Amino acid sequence: MLPRRAVLQGGLAAGVGLAALGNQVASAATVSSSGSTGIRPFRASIPQQKLLDLRRRVSGVSWPTAELVGDRTQGVQLATTKALAKYWVSRYDWRRFEAKINKLPQFTTEIDGVDIHFIHVRSPHKDALPLVMTHGWPGSFVELLETIGPLTNPTAHGGRAADAFHLVLPSIPGYGFSSQPTEIGWDPGRTARAWNELMHRLGYTRYVAQGGDVGSAVTDNLGRQAPTGLLGIHVNLLGAALGGVGWPTTTDEERAAAAAVAEFNATGNGYRIEQTTRPQTIGYALLDSPVALAAWMLDHDTDSYYKISQAFVGNHPAGNLTRDHILDNISLYWLTGTGASAARVYWE
């Protein structure tokens, strides 16, 4: 990780890595005001009936016959999906996850007609730099939770106070606990402007931004807009690189990267084409069947698919990709009914 001072001096936002969430989370400053711009505390509380309905739908799924190949070239494998469904109905506990996130400082605020849900954790280090981080698809704020401890309190994780951040984790409109837009136009640029407004509502006059996947597009737009107070950005996906043109192939590492991009473009683009052109069509399946939603979210790149598959089929999680963490994210999509609205971001 770059020293935070380098961010201030060079105008570059430091990259961040995933690590275990600390036992203690820095408290967030409570912000409140009247009117539509007010910031309101939020707690997750999914009705029990929704959880019972989820279990009923997963238990009653109509299974297709197995794929006719020994790999994922025909799609998400039946054994993987059945193992996921079995764990979902027999061992997964949403209330565990709900209790976990309700220990964090969560808020909502209306920006440009949409209620934005966000987690706001202030560092115990007074000189911490404000940082807004944006998730991707098929992710959510869930994918960023394990960064909270190391980023807000680095001294508790072997780091330095100079590397501390005040952390803001918003959910893109149409994702998670943010409300769904009721009009077109919520492209990454509009979301970026909303994030700048959010940071100023929180009282931050200077900040940095980071994003991955769809969040990279939001963060890239924020950098292009260059609003007053934004010191720098960091993204961990360069959209132009997915074109696969002009990749260097001198070293083994470069050849492996070029091969991964080529494979993704050849076999991993199905979700992107559908969501870019027909998000409403796939949305009917994503809102009707939790198993269809799970399979759609798993059918991404080859590397992540096999890691997730092994977590369920062989109980061999890769790093933090445990069965519970995977289902925390999928369940959030299902219980908030955001499968279709999240897909529309690609259409925008």
Res 3: pLDDT: 53
Per residue in 293-326, pLDDT tens? 999 999 988 889 999 999 999 999 999 999 999 9
Report percent pLDDT > 70 for the chain.
90
CA nearest 51: which of 82, 13, 89, 10? 89
Per residue in 71-122, pLDDT tens? 999 999 999 999 999 999 999 999 999 999 999 999 999 999 999 999 999 9
Q: With 80 as the cut, is the pLDDT of residue 4 above it?
A: no
CA nearest 168: which of 97, 226, 104, 113? 104
Is the full-model pTM beyond 0.85? Answer: yes
Q: With 50 as the cut, is the pLDDT of residue 347 above it?
A: yes
Residue spans in the chain of domains classed CATH 3.40.50.1820: 103-246
Contact 164, 153 (CB under 8 A): yes
Res 18: pLDDT: 28
Res 300: pLDDT: 87
Distance CA 219, CA 209 (A): 6
CATH code assigned to 103-246: 3.40.50.1820
